[in-house]
Amino acid sequence: MNLPEIIQNFVDSQNRHDSALFAANFSNEAVVYDEGEMRTGREEIRQWNEKNSERYNTQMSPLELLDLNDEKVVIVMNISGTFQGSPIHLKFNFKIDNGLITSLNIG
């Protein structure tokens, strides 16, 4: 699957469990919605990713590209880890501006 570079970097940094590199994929004002909660800004996103990586040892792989344009990418990801029900498939809705993720809604 041919993903935009920023999305491939997002996946790669998650699978390496590098929370600093993961957060660098986002704009300074980015917002992430996951499990009914919102994280705003790179530092909150880094902390959220670090906590989840340590807790669940999460790995992801893209399964299906549903939508792709200059501002939006929607992908179904296979998510595996040490959580109940692993693996699961989740839809990742990205908004991108100037080569960085500005919004991510996981669900």
Q: How would DSSP label each residue in 17-69?
A: T-HHHHHTTEEEEEEEEETTEEEEHHHHHHHHHHHHHHHH--EEEEEEEEEE-
CATH number, domain with residue 54: 3.10.450.50
Q: At 100, which helix (H) or strand (E)?
A: strand 100-106
Give the range of the structural domain holding residue 39, as residue numbers without chain letter.
5-106
pLDDT at 99 over 90: yes
- Share of residues in the chain with pLDDT > 90 (%): 93
Q: Determine the Cα–Cα distance for residues 83 and 87; give it in Å rounded to an integer.
A: 8
The tally of domains found in the chain comes to 1
- What is the pTM for the complete model shown? 0.94
Q: At 5, which helix (H) or strand (E)?
A: helix 5-15
